[in-house]
Amino acid sequence: MFIKDYISKDYPAFSSTDLIEEANEMAKEFGFSHVFVKKKGVYQGAISQSFLEESPEGNLASLEIHYEKFAILDDGNLLDSIKLFYTFNSNIVPVISKNEKYLGYLSCDDIFCEFSKYPLFSESGAILTIQTNGTHYSMIEICKIVESNNGKVYGCFINLIGDDFIQITLKISTENPSSIDETFERYGYTVVQKYYDDEKEDLLKDRFGFFQKYLEF
């Protein structure tokens, strides 16, 4: 998951002397949200394609005060890139060395393709979101609850942290998800959301349906 293993180099960085129109056309051709500017190989900043579209004719140097200063180091982790994609509303992130030399880029599509290979996303299974007191939180306990019901954890992540609570989403493999629900509740967790076919709930719905039909006679 190291950044250096996923760097692409087919999208050129521009010089500050290059024309705004040329940079804009290149960004549109590739379908990328930003262009990158470098000087003597050193990364200077990024400019959004939408800003280029509205800019008057000239070279990129005239837009220097509008450069966005975001990038990721080549020795970073793929997870570090996600915040940059979101914060700068970008589908591409420049990769630089520690001395700020421009090395290439990461695209949002490439990152999603890589993450889609992980069992958390690729495997079929039940999805469960649980909530607990912020002080009552242990991944070891959570995994033990799943495994004690003959389930397996494909992956989990913290999706919300409040002042006095925490929410955790799990992807699990199990033939009896309702028993895992019940065990979590016995241990003081609240099941906030669940995505699977609950046989017990289906049975109750069927019985209620028969009861309704009985009352109609």
Count the neighbouring beta carbons within 10 Å of the beta carbon of residue 2.
11
Specify the CATH superfamily of domain 119-195: MTH889-like domain (3.30.70.1340)
Amino acid 204: pLDDT: 45
Tell me if 81 sits within 8 A of 74, measured CB to CB: no
Same CATH topology for 3-115 and 119-195? Answer: no
Residue ranges, the chain, pLDDT below 50: 199-205, 207-208, 211-212, 214-217
Amino acid 206: pLDDT: 52
Amino acid 138: pLDDT: 87
Amino acid 217: pLDDT: 45
Alpha carbon distance, N-terminus to C-terminus of the chain: 64
Single out the residue of 14, 4, 121 nearest to residue 61, CA to CA. 14
How far from 216 is each of 69, 203, 204, 206, 213, CA to CA, in Å? 70, 20, 19, 16, 5
The residues near 61 (Cβ < 8 Å, ≥ 6 apart) are: 16, 17
How far from 135 is each of 162, 166, 188, CA to CA, in Å? 11, 9, 12
Give the span between the Cα atoms of 170 and 180, in whole angstroms: 12
Report domain extents, the chain.
Answer: 3-115, 119-195
Tell me if 99 sits within 8 A of 38, measured CB to CB: no
Amino acid 120: pLDDT: 84
Tell me if 42 sits within 8 A of 96, measured CB to CB: no
Tokens of 196: 């699977």
Tokens of 51: 């800003």
The residues near 74 (Cβ < 8 Å, ≥ 6 apart) are: 3, 4, 7, 95, 96, 97, 103
The residues near 174 (Cβ < 8 Å, ≥ 6 apart) are: 125, 126, 146, 149, 150, 151, 152, 180
Tokens of 177: 């998800």
Amino acid 106: pLDDT: 95
The whole-angstrom distance between residue 173's C-alpha and the CA centroid of its chain comes to 22
Class of domain 3-115: alpha beta
What's the pTM value of the predicted model, to 2 decimals?
Answer: 0.77
